[in-house]
Amino acid sequence: MTTLITLYSRFFECLEKLATPLVLLFVRIWAAKAFLQSGLVKIQSWDSTLYLFEEEYQVPLLPWEMAAYLGTAAELILPPLLIIGLMSRGVASALFVFNIMAVISYPVLWDQGFYDHQLWGLMFLMTAIFGPGALSVDHLLKKRFPTK
């Protein structure tokens, strides 16, 4: 019986060691892709973007024009960093907050896309807490320049 328990334990330890980097990479790509695509749509139709920020989105604390520029910049700069796994925990944390702001600023999401935003928020939170995993620039830099 002990041998069976040992085999069971070793199997799942091995599976965890192999799958964790892949799962963390998948999570980073999946969540970042949605925000990068949104940023690309915004710059393709800048007049529409400005209209949406002025008339539809209700971004608190910021003037609508500044919110348009900052939001678009965040969607174009942060996701590629997350995908390659550079400064991942900070980037994921920033995108987590950005995601919350998107939901707050655009009430239509509550009916149409709230589930997606919950999922992306969880993925950003996972990356912020667990890190980007072994398949990331952060991991390579940590191996190259170890800290003591």
Interval 42-62 mean pLDDT: 92
Q: Is residue 127 part of a domain?
A: yes
Q: Is residue 10 part of a domain?
A: no
Q: Which of 131, 119, 118 is nearest to 92 (CA)?
A: 131
Q: Is residue 106 scored above 90 in pLDDT?
A: no
Determine if the pTM surpasses 0.75: yes
Interval 108-128 mean pLDDT: 89
Return the pLDDT at 138: 97
Confidence category of residue 2, pLDDT binned at 50, 70, 90: confident
Number of domains composing the chain: 1
Q: Is residue 4 part of a domain?
A: no
Q: Give the number of other CB atoms < 10 A from CB of residue 113.
A: 15
* Contact status, residue 54 vs residue 44, Cβ threshold 8 Å: no
Q: Is residue 136 part of a domain?
A: yes
Q: Is residue 108 scored above 90 in pLDDT?
A: no
Q: Is residue 38 part of a domain?
A: yes
Distances (CA, A) of 90 to 25, 49, 68: 16, 27, 22
Return the pLDDT at 63: 94
Q: Is residue 95 scored above 90 in pLDDT?
A: yes
Q: Give the number of other CB atoms < 10 A from CB of residue 92.
A: 27
Q: Which domain holds residue 129?
A: 19-144
